[in-house]
Structure 1
Amino acid sequence: MTARLAFAPLLALLAAGCATLPQRAPSTRAVSRPGFVIAANPLAAKAGMDVLQRGGSAADAAVAVQAALGLVEPQSSGLGGGAFMTYYDARTAKVTVYDGRETAPAGATPTMFIGPDGKPLSFATAVLSGRATGVPGAVRMLEMAQRAHGRLRWSELFEPTAVLAEQGFAISPRLGRMLAGNYAELSAPDVVKYFSKPDGTRLKVGDTLQNPVYARFLRRLASGGANVFYTGETAARIVERVRQGPFASSMTMADLSRYRPVKREALCRAWQSYTACVPPPPSSGVSTLQLLEMLGRTDIASRGPGDPQGWYLFAEGSRLMYADRDRYVADPAFVKVPVEGLLDPAYVASRAALIGPSAGPPPVAGKPPGAAAVGADATREPAGTSHFIVGDSNGNVVSMTTTVESIFGSGRMVDGFFLNNQMTDFSFSPTEADGRPAANAVAGGKRPRSSMTPLILLDAQGRFAGAFGSPGGSAILAYVSKTMVGSLMWKLPVQGAIDLPNLVARGSSFGGEVDKFPAGVVAGLAARGVALKPGQGEDSGVHAVLIRPDGQIDGGYDKRREGVVLVDEKRTPVRR
């Protein structure tokens, strides 16, 4: 069932339970509501819905969705990658973040992406190297969240996807488009082997892809838990694969066995009439909040999608946000990240005041209160990743962004899943010309900076009011913020806000969907110094749900990918 067909019952059914959402009090019990899944692939959404209809919770369904995405959308995420989950507990009205970001092996060094010539490696070289892979975090994180919030047994969450892997599935148009593209990873031996027919030609849209190796791994994972991934034969195969050249990794079995996800307090700030909650660093959620707060100090809300000045304000606010983000956001266990300074009202106002009548040179990072002297950043983030939202019948909600980083990650496969290339989310150059270290430089055990920002909104009473998220590399921040501006400032339906053309302004680059803007907007932007060019901005994958002040439920999916909304019309109760 597509989102277009399924969302009408979602609106009708969710509205019935909206008015009785719980207050922010630990003693308040959740009420029965219909479960729903919004995911980037129909087969993955179906896996999650199957769990909900068997009485599983949102956390249970998230495990099933991720396992299926790794099979049917391997170009974007998988068990060999990492993720951030923002979780709303309906009983306590508390928002918690589960950080499953990958970590650098203990032996990683700041110069690991510097070549023999003393210069940073090209991305195409680095992404195919053994050093590209960080210690995967998604499986341990999902196990942590499911233990805390699950209702079914872990062993009950994988079998439908294991069967699908054995029987095979039809390659979707988007996966087929990736296989027909021009990406470095398509030359990787494991990618070539996995996507080749017996005659040596590459699989295409509509062809059946089977993965019995993945099916066997899922069954071992189901019976043995996350230790099956992080110790024993699978861990040994991961280490063996990444320690092969070129540019072999230093990863060891100890790196895998020591990996731990982090349960973090959500970073929340008042915005409009809501409270917006995002993952703290190493996620860039702080930057999403900063951009939204900057825009709130302009008159963008009185504009609209047909007004070039509104888009101009969005572009200039984005550039200021990215300048700060690129300079300061990194792993807080290694670097002092000035989170409070970046969101300090006076500092935000001073940054917003820099938006003039026309765009000038690329803005430089500001000096927020508490900021350390760190160097410039040289991180490149391709537009990969996936996002999904799950709500269960008791009102618990998962907003999760998950990734193997680039297309098919590093292109290296173990036990039927691709390994991430998340180490390339670090700055290749560890220092600036003057010797100041980059905040996002490589270090052993460090988590690379992430653009993933799965967001949950609360209303004035602390009740669930919405969820937003998207894939897209560094453009995630622009995609999510655009959708929130469109739906909450310009008062568009959420689907209309998702459908708005994307505009990604960072440094000297102004990329976007030039042909989709209303008449006069592109020319109006050019008159203000914003010369839009086709580029990054065409492959968002936004999913969003919003409870409007009148109690109506609004939401949608990104038609640029293969989004789908499924609803548990039987209103299956979650077991307690």
Structure 2
Amino acid sequence: MRLFVKWLALALGPALLLACASPPPLAPAQPEAASGWTAKPGWATRHFAVAAANPQAVEAGYRILKAGGNALDAAIATQLVLALVEPQSSGIGGGAFLMHWDGRNLSAWDGRETAPAAVDERLFIKPDGRPMSMGEAVVGGRAVGTPGVLAMLEAAHRRHGRLPWARLFEPAIALSEQGFEVGARMHLLLGGASGLRRDAVAARYFFDADGKPWPQGQRLRNPALAEVLRRIAAEGSEQAFYRGSVARDMVRRVRGHAGNPGLLSEADLAAYRPRERQPLCTDWRRDAPAGAGPGWRVCGFPPPSSGHLTVMQILAMLPPGDAARDLQDGKPRAAWLHRYLEASRLAFADRAQYIADPDFVDAPAGDWASLLDPDYLHQRAALIGPRSMGEAQAGTPRQARSAHAPQAAQVEHGTSHISVIDGEGHAVALTTTVEAAFGAQIMSDGGTGLVGGFVLNNQLTDFSMLPRDAQGRPVANRVEPGKRPRSSMSPTLVFDPRDGRLLMSLGSPGGQAIIHFVAKTLLATQDWGMDVQSAINLPNVGNFNGPSVLERGLLPPATVQGLRALGHQVIELDFPSGLQAIERRGGGWFGGADPRREGIVKGD
């Protein structure tokens, strides 16, 4: 039991320590705090659709599409409004991965943050030689990486955008000046963000005179963000964000943090460059039984994301599904969950061993596709037996052994996701993040001196806190100057392999659980014939090569006991996702939004 508690504390966050004792757990699951359940109907549209985590952000994307913008234009406008209304999850002080389809070509744009040039692999090691706790590392400047989202969006817009860059900023600037109503989720998360109270800029903006979070419904204006966005709209991000007064203010706040200063420099900001990477596309279910359809071509992000590789490893180790066999009363049976959770153990063992920034770490056998080799995954799937295997070990794809140590489990935090499909069938899947709730809990006003601003990320805590194992072997995902931390963000586009038609855009927040949330949606829609809203509504489950985590109260007690009887250590917790998805259906599009969040879908 002691080891079980220790694993949970590392993998899902300190709040879960309370959850391992009796009575049943009360603490909300980390990395994403639960904020209730609001049933969503699903939305049918004919021509286009926008899905995002906040209705005001969706409205901005919708208006851009109505004004003649394309999917990328709408996604940028949506993201900029999210920076205002959902600062706990994303913003211009963070990073993002973007998948883009223009009807002919697929591209993957990497706006992941980078480690400052002055860091070394012992960034999170204390003087006594022990690693910092996540709580010690997150708040303050130490974990702030060079923000990448704006540079990436601008580079993608130069290639694919239709409306002028400045036009896309108008909704966020107007809303920043006029104000927006604080939502229930933002209010809830402010209550736990004690670091914001110690940051002068954030305390002035997020809290009242008594230090209490602004209540739900409070109209909140952000003139500092409006001014920063106005400059970026007029001058471009390179001059107005990565250089000049905004850059100086970010660096001053990171390096000048009283309790936990960091190493970000103006040179780091000026040197930042986004990357265009080769998407990973994997044919799945092409071996399904006759009459089951042609399967899908699932396209996702390559390393430094672990998302697509790990999702597709899990899916490939599962046999073709059958709703009558796999489901009971619309929910997965214990036998199906057992195989899914065991496949997850194997995939997460490989993830911990191999996946990191490809500019610093070679793929096994020189090719990331080696992790998806059918013969290799067939061998891995053969390890799944009638009872839980416990902790899985990494495999050796194409017999390529690694000199790296596997990364120990540690908490990974949340994000936000945007999916857009425009009237021409062009599509975006954009997952965007500042890492933990409100990032490093440092706020920059961009040097404006006005109220508000934007939060800075704590993305460097996505690196391994321990750079080496007891034998001195380096961890692939250790901190190094200029390196991008491994991510679980999984923006995904799905195509028909027969004619290349776009079928779906989807993604989710949730730290490393993003992988399970996306896998669940793909499995339920492909194997069980569900629409995306029904798939999103299904109970969340996951295994990270430790105990099996089930969303509390959504699976029958007999199913939970069935898993325990098969040898699983099971914990039931709030396990909230934030899925957004749009699928081709009925001659048009059908969108789903997670009932666990505030998001919607809108289109014509």
TM over 0.5: same fold?
yes
Alpha carbons 2:463, 2:479 under 8 Å: kept = yes
Deviation at 1:525, TM superposition (A): 1.4
Aligned partner of 2:579 in structure 1 is 542
Range moving further from structure 2, 320-329 or 416-425: 320-329
Aligned partner of 2:326 in structure 1 is 303
Q: C-alpha distance in 2, partners of 1:432/1:298?
A: 40
Aligned partner of 1:260 in structure 2 is 273
After TM superposition, the structure 1 = structure 2 runs for residues 87-486 of structure 1, keeping only pairs within 5 Å, are 87-90=100-103, 92=104, 94-181=105-192, 188-227=199-238, 228-245=240-257, 246-272=259-285, 273-284=295-306, 285-296=308-319, 302-304=325-327, 305-338=331-364, 339-369=368-398, 370-378=400-408, 380-415=410-445, 416-459=453-496, 460-486=498-524
Q: C-alpha distance in 1, partners of 2:471/2:335?
A: 38
Q: C-alpha distance in 2, partners of 1:98/1:413?
A: 26
Range moving further from structure 2, 222-231 or 176-185: 176-185
Does residue 50 (structure 1) correspond to residue 50 (structure 2)? The answer is: no
Letter of the 2:145 counterpart: G
Deviation at 1:378, TM superposition (A): 3.2
Alignment gaps of 5+ in structure 1: 14-33, 570-576
Aligned partner of 2:567 in structure 1 is 529
Alignment gaps of 5+ in structure 2: 1-37, 286-294, 446-452
Deviations 1:505-544 (A, max 9, x none): 1122221213101462212112112243133x62200111
Q: C-alpha distance in 1, partners of 2:501/2:251?
A: 44
Please give the secondary structure, in 2, of the residue aligned with 1:220.
Answer: helix
Alpha carbons 1:179, 1:204 under 8 Å: kept = no
Q: C-alpha distance in 1, partners of 2:409/2:323?
A: 30
Aligned partner of 1:19 in structure 2 is none
Aligned partner of 1:63 in structure 2 is 76
Counterpart among 597, 601, 604 of residue 561 in structure 1: 597
Letter of the 2:91 counterpart: G
Letter of the 2:484 counterpart: R
Q: C-alpha distance in 2, partners of 1:378/1:279?
A: 23
Deviations 1:393-446 (A, max 9, x none): 111100010000000000011120100000000001100111110000000000
Alpha carbons 1:306, 1:519 under 8 Å: kept = no
Alpha carbons 1:3, 1:563 under 8 Å: kept = no
> Which 4+ stretches in 1 moved above 6 angstroms?
297-301
Letter of the 1:409 counterpart: G
Aligned partner of 1:29 in structure 2 is none
Number of equivalences = 540
Q: C-alpha distance in 1, partners of 2:41/2:466?
A: 48
Q: C-alpha distance in 2, partners of 1:201/1:181?
A: 11
| Counterparts in 2 of 1:183 and 1:209: CA distance versus 1, 3 Å | same
Deviation at 1:503, TM superposition (A): 0.7
Alpha carbons 1:379, 1:428 under 8 Å: kept = no
Deviation at 1:391, TM superposition (A): 1.3
Letter of the 1:121 counterpart: M
TM-score, scaled to structure 2: 0.86
Letter of the 1:481 counterpart: A
Alpha carbons 1:124, 1:184 under 8 Å: kept = no
Please give the secondary structure, in 2, of the residue aligned with 1:362.
Answer: coil
Deviation at 1:180, TM superposition (A): 2.5
Please give the secondary structure, in 2, of the residue aligned with 1:97.
Answer: strand
| Counterparts in 2 of 1:277 and 1:296: CA distance versus 1, 3 Å | farther
Deviations 1:300-350 (A, max 9, x none): 995223421111111111111111111111000000123122111111111
Letter of the 1:345 counterpart: P
Q: C-alpha distance in 2, partners of 1:109/1:98?
A: 26
> What percent of counterpart residues are identical?
44
TM-score, scaled to structure 1: 0.90
| Counterparts in 2 of 1:371 and 1:55: CA distance versus 1, 3 Å | farther
| Counterparts in 2 of 1:381 and 1:183: CA distance versus 1, 3 Å | farther
Q: C-alpha distance in 2, partners of 1:342/1:309?
A: 26
Alpha carbons 2:100, 2:428 under 8 Å: kept = yes
Deviations 1:451-501 (A, max 9, x none): 001011010211111112100000000111011111111222221111111
Deviation at 1:372, TM superposition (A): 2.3
Deviation at 1:183, TM superposition (A): 6.2
Please give the secondary structure, in 2, of the residue aligned with 1:508.
Answer: coil
Deviation at 1:185, TM superposition (A): 5.5
Alpha carbons 1:301, 1:489 under 8 Å: kept = no
Aligned partner of 1:487 in structure 2 is 525
Q: C-alpha distance in 2, partners of 1:456/1:242?
A: 36
Letter of the 1:311 counterpart: L
Alpha carbons 2:412, 2:462 under 8 Å: kept = no
Alpha carbons 1:85, 1:401 under 8 Å: kept = yes
Alpha carbons 1:3, 1:564 under 8 Å: kept = no
Deviations 1:260-313 (A, max 9, x none): 111111101101211100010001121111111112478899522342111111
Does residue 514 (structure 1) correspond to residue 536 (structure 2)? The answer is: no
Letter of the 1:393 counterpart: G
- In angstroms, what is the RMSD of aligned CA positions? 2.0
Please give the secondary structure, in 2, of the residue aligned with 1:239.
Answer: helix
Q: C-alpha distance in 2, partners of 1:183/1:302?
A: 48
Please give the secondary structure, in 1, of the residue aligned with 2:370.
Answer: helix
Aligned partner of 1:26 in structure 2 is none
| Counterparts in 2 of 1:292 and 1:306: CA distance versus 1, 3 Å | closer
Q: C-alpha distance in 2, partners of 1:214/1:182?
A: 20
